[in-house]
Amino acid sequence: MSNRDSIKPWYQVHKWTSLICTLFALLLCLTGLPLIFAHEIDHALGYQVEPPALPETGQRANLDDIIADAKTRKPGHAVQFLVGDPDEPDLWSVRLGFTADAPEPSAFYSYDARTGEFLHEYPLRQGFMNVLLRLHVDLFAGLPGMLFLGFMGLLLVISLISGTVLYGYYMRKIRFGSIRRSRSAQVKWLDLHNLLGIVTLVWLLVVSLTGVINTLSVPIFDRWQSTELAEMTAPYRGQPPLAGIVSAQRALDAAGNAAPGMTLGFMAFPGNDFASPHHFVAFMQGATPLTSKLLKPVLIDAQTGKVIAQRDLPGYVSALLVSQPLHFGDYGGLPLKILWAVLDILSIMVLISGLYLWLKKHKVPFETRPGVPMNEKPEATLPISAPKQVDGK
């Protein structure tokens, strides 16, 4: 089999996977660009606030007072989570829902963790950023939309791998990074497409794979809840509902004592899907950039306030937790976010140039294809067009 014959299947794979996923990949890149700076944009729009600057005293407000204040703002609603922020250690947030296990929040309040002062109510399901987030996450279609985008992400990964194979074949006789400016516009677009594709290859693979993992967040947590969490709470199964529960502050203190050196990521209240009717579950996190993204669940008896169990999350959940911030460049502060944004813009150019090459529906002239000797006759070879080009047949 000649080299031409061996490369043809890779071209077919690249062509069809690219055609199927490119528009959705372009949508994800366009919506993902502002989402890289979601935290900064929310601050600029006033959707999030920072605690005021105060002298450091080590003082912490009583969590029960904060919970009581949140309940008075939404009478009849249940507290679902207490949420910490590794980037804002002086900020606590309280999420409420119509019931403890309601899938959607009804309110999200922020408080100064030092004084207990109410700071802000985050506007739920409002604004342009919410539209971008929903488009990026699930196309406003819930779990089916998430899984569909995950499948598009897999096709993009296959397209990237097959495109890399084609690039190696077609660039055998041309210097890396060359753009043949003296050729036709289509050839220049092809060279630009190939060059930017190689430059962004690793980044696109990373964000595509992490994006695919993120689309599986619902089934991943469902599995954890039905296996690991169910196993930890099994001795309490079938017991009557509690008449009362210990204070949230007592539960938080117990979790802190059980996991020294760690801080609270979030704490699920009894009745929530991330806890049980008889328990708080505090998800503790480390202090380093990596360990702050990982969580360790601590199970607390809601009647006695004692720690019942704690264990590390299984690998498949940890993979999800690591992939979520990596997908948006949320590891190295603003410099990494800027790098992510630049690579996102270059990837948009890759996708647009690929669409341009397809829409032109013309083959690159045989003699201009990289890697083809000038004295080789067209009749002697298989007519395979360049990557991302389709002849319409």
pLDDT digits (tens, 9 = 90+) for 316-354: 999 999 999 999 988 878 999 999 999 999 999 999 988
CB contact set of 240 (below 8 Å; sequence gap of 6+)? none
d(CA 204, CA 199): 10
Sheet of strand 307-310, all strands in order from the earlier edge strand to the far edge: 118-121, 107-112, 91-97, 78-83, 263-268, 279-285, 296-301, 307-310
Q: Is 83 helix (H, G, I), strand (E, B) or coil?
A: strand
Per the rule left: phi > 0, alpha: psi between -120 and 50, beta: everything else, 329 is left
CB contact set of 14 (below 8 Å; sequence gap of 6+)? 159, 162, 163, 165, 166, 387, 388
Tokens representing 182 are: 């003296």
Residue 384 has pLDDT above 70, yes or no: no
Q: Which of 4-13, 67-76, 334-343 is predicted with the least confidence, judged by mean pLDDT?
A: 4-13
CA dihedral 374→378→380→383, nearest 10 degrees, is 120
Sketch the domain layout of the chain as residue ranges.
3-18+135-204+334-380, 39-128+215-235+242-327
DSSP symbol at 384: P
Q: Is 176 helix (H, G, I), strand (E, B) or coil?
A: coil
Per-residue confidence band for 34, with pLDDT thresholds at 50, 70 and 90: very high
Q: What is the mean pLDDT of residues 14-30?
A: 94
- Tell me the per-residue pLDDT of 145-184, one tens digit each, with 9 for 90 and over: 999 999 999 999 999 999 888 888 877 777 766 777 777 7
